[in-house]
A and B are shown apart, each in its own frame.
Chain A
Amino acid sequence: MPDTILEVKNLKACFHLDEGQLRAVDGVSFAIQREETLGVIGESGCGKSVTALSILRLLMPPGKIEGGEILYYSDDNQVTDLAKLHPNGEQIRKIRGKEIAMIFQEPMASLSPVHTIGAQMMEFILLHNPGMKKNEAQEIALDMLNKVGVSNPALRLQNYPHQLSGGMCQRVMIATALSCNPRLLICDEPTTALDVTVQAQIIDLMEELQAEMGMSMLYITHDLGVIAEVADEVAVMYLGKIVEKCDVKTIFKKPMHPYTQRLMQSVPKLGSRQEMLDTIEGTVPIPIGMGAQCGFYSRCSHAEEGSCSRRSPALVEVEPGHFVRCFKYGSVEEGYLESANQI
């Protein structure tokens, strides 16, 4: 039995804008193992969410998947390339919610304002369990709300989203997502809109539930603290590319890519007397019509004129299990390996 549940290979997603083609995800590859959590980290606009949306084929025009494979390994060892499915077709709809569930960033906005919590939860339970009676679905909904620590669940089923707090709404979202026993849960910054104490509660809850239900998780965040807590494996994204990938301990102990190192430095340390936060200067460039160069070139303190500005480095295994995309560690130009193999 293969241990991989999802394998993304060289995924490319673009937004076709009037200004040109925006390459939001530019050749991303990763794999998620059974019952493990892959954390994806990066600042706003680096393509984390687009990656997540692409997996469930939720990317809407002008966004489009341009290439690559998204291989999903189902329970009976069948492999489906999600990237090839029709985005509204029956096959992907059977996977959405049932096999792969997703939790979004803003819990309040993710629930319909004019339907009760109960109606929304039960709709999805009934959708993936054809033939189930309404009261059975309600039992499951109640049970799940109990599990995620919602007080007075029977009353909550009658409530509308605006009557609940943000943390409560996110618990409802989690309960809904887990009510069909998904094998993979994609979390797109589920705690970003919540305050810190609630954030901690939600993360603890999700870890507990993951262990209990034996799910895999793809956890997207820009919060290093959250990554440290939930992830087994970490991928750092910058400008639509994975720049570093390794297990969670290594990334904190020995970050190698200049971007990862700067990310680590920008976290304020407890007890240190620091007047100014150490930040990364500049912003993520907009990836429209960029030639071959390292994406981090404009903000990197190690950048070298010539190599970094003219060639784009490939992701290479610098140490066992530790992949870095930087010329500093002897990376070769992207595409070089492929062409070498062909010869």
Chain B
Amino acid sequence: MDLFSNLLHGIAGVLSPTTVLLLLVGVLSGMVVGVIPGLGPSAGLAILLPLTFGLEPVQAIVMLAAVYYGAFYGSTISSVLINAPGDAASVPTALEGYPMARRGRAAPALVLGALASFVAGTVAAVLLTVAAPAAASVTSSFGPPELFLLIVLGLLTMIMFVGKNWVRGLLSVMLGFAIGTVGVELGGSQRYTFGSTELINGIPFIPVAIGLFGLGEILWTLYNGAHRQERAPVDVRAKSAFWPNRSEWREGGGAIARGAPLGFGMGIIPGAGATVSSLMAYSMEKGISRKPERFGNTGAPAGLAGPEAANNAAATGAMVPLLTLGIPGSASTAVLLGGFLMWELKPGPLLMEQNPEFAWGLIGSMYLGNVVLLLVNIFCIPVFASVTRISLPTLAPLIMVLCAFGAFTVNGSIIEVGIMFGCAFLGFFMRLYGLSPATLVIALVLGPMAEDNLRRSLIASDGSFGIFVSREPSVVLLCVAAALLVLPLVAAPVKRAVGRRFANRRANDSENARSADTPEVEHS
């Protein structure tokens, strides 16, 4: 209980009219940055960090926490509305949220996203309070071999993205890996850079994702002639168009309950946490769903809510290594760490002991950021959702400009805008030939990480693969990987058997669900 009083003190300590104002400003400016395609939480923090230099440390941290959550949610908004994810972890949101928006369920998708973030943020804040010390010991046992295995787990989840069409799926993965090889490799020599300074750090993920999803989608829509169709008339003020309906609640709720602890657990692992957790939540939801065929097709609320919850809980989980070990667990926390130095705080295992009011203030303000985000969004979602009422001939040019702007802003590089346009065409042809852009993007993110960690492990072990079985955490991860591979084989017959037994009950269930739903027009 002592811990909870710490948390309450943390919240009380940062609560004042000034900080509430800073929270509002932070959430809104974070959202504005995050809504720009390609600009996710870490970019948002980096862009807005200089704004906080003039503030007191506690005020600065309150504002940054607000920016962090605002930018997180901003990426959700752009993923759902214009299919342009701001970071790798939002790819599932785009996969499920955008189809929902296309059939007039944009506001419920955004509400589910906001609630998933809020609930996951709350659960994670409590877990952080209770489990931080224990979680820290897990973190410090994750060296390169464990990171490699964890990333392999993430890659295994792509099986779920690929579905039955495994040849095309494999081709998409290989394309992603291939793009990921560009740049200076671990040993210092260059691969496919042709001496260009623009390419020494590799082909960045963000312009690729914006091109493949955002702009690629527009090209695909034009090719399909969907722009000539009338959009579903949606009255965003109507209750039924704003709140998720009963089946969306039920699917989303379960997914949130599963995604939050998963995300927190993965978030405490430095490096791969957020992305891998969101992908795992997605494949888990698809795996246990009764209607997996809706995933990535007409939009499944569970596939949106689960990864969103996992993503958000992972963001809080990433605070565990930062606060207890002084080790940044993600790109965003690395920016925060830079801020710590700026405010003359010494990151390290003693941070919580030496500056308890600061550490708890940080946790408290992350929680408050979540609350303010939810409140702000209840009012803002109808406005955002109205975007779906704009006809495509009007919207498409705007999205194109936003995509180009977003690709440029991240690093101020015109080359990246070129990469974005190139990937738009790549995305178009991938859709045309039934390849999977989502798989490519994930392979691009995870491939180089897997390569680097594999090579680090092998350098450390003098080339022996024994390093993967001689360390306890590695063995645990190997077992999980084996289970993931075997489970689907075992699960199918079990599922069928269970399915038969409950066939009658399920029929009743879906009957009920259908009658509770408001009638919808499918537009995909």
| A and B associate in one complex | no
**Could you tell me which B residues sit within 8 Å of A by CB distance?**
none
